[in-house]
Amino acid sequence: MQLYIGNKNYSSWSMRPWVLLEQATIAFEEVKIRFDAFTPDSKFKTEVARHSPAGRVPVLVDDGFAVWDTLAIAEYLAERFPDRHLWPGDRQARARARSVCAEMHAGFTALRSHFGMNIEASLPEVGQRILREHAEVKADVDRLVEMWSELLRAHGGPLLFGRFSIADAFFAPVVKRFVTYAVPVPPAVAAYIKQVQELPAVVAWTRGALAEHDFLDFEEPYRKAC
């Protein structure tokens, strides 16, 4: 299998299936397509179009068959590798895990817009200002804190459904955002953030992101190149 991804420092969508595959020890080949201007004739769009009509990463290609969209990739992997138990075993827990993944997939637009993923950066002052000035971002943060706290209580931690699942892979990029912007959270959520940060797959993704040294100004609204 090949997984086509964008820049590790910026591509939150790419991070989800990469972490899922890596943490579940499913063999795959990483193919990185560098972000550029994203115009229809750009190198990025031209290359991605060879594998997905949607023109976005990530794309999973398994024996020539392409699957795009993070939820579709997660479901495909769960069916393809049932022995990895990527969703929780309990039916209701599985339904809840799918619900929160779908909520993340479709929502939190204010957080995505103002707290762009940028693993290499440390922007605590920016985080404080955004939370102060943008009520909709604070509302997204409050919902995530509520969701994570509820799941950790219900399933006993240390991860959202006790053990690693698709849900933790889906929220791993949000964890990185919370770290970059120093978002204040209660102790139980801070412990969860630490746990996700220490997952071997997240450690490996972070290491790759820090090694890129590829500043893209359109991904960096709060900083200028040094």
Q: How far apart are CA 44 and CA 224, in angstroms?
A: 23
Cα 51 to Cα 70, 123, 152, 156, 226: the distances in Å are 15, 35, 38, 41, 35
Q: How far apart are CA 129 and CA 70, in angstroms?
A: 31
User: Does position 224 have pLDDT exceeding 80, yes or no?
Assistant: no
How does pLDDT run across 79-103, given as a tens digit for each residue? Answer: 999 999 999 999 999 999 999 999 9
- The CATH number given to whatever domain includes residue 196 is 1.20.1050.10
User: Within this chain, do residues 58 and 98 fall inside the same structural domain, yes or no?
Assistant: no
Helices and strands: H and E segment counts in the chain: 10, 4
- Domain's final residue, options 84, 103, 131: 84
User: Within this chain, do residues 187 and 107 fall inside the same structural domain, yes or no?
Assistant: yes
pLDDT band at 66 (very low <50, low <70, confident <90, very high): very high
- Is residue 13 included in any domain, yes or no? yes
> Average pLDDT over the chain, rounded to whole?
96
- What is the structure's pLDDT at 225? 57
- Is residue 221 included in any domain, yes or no? no
Q: Chain centroid to CA 71: how far?
A: 11
Contacts of 103 (CB under 8 A, 6+ apart): 147
User: Within this chain, do residues 79 and 98 fall inside the same structural domain, yes or no?
Assistant: no
Range of 135's domain? 91-207
CB-based contact 39:30 (threshold 8 Å): no
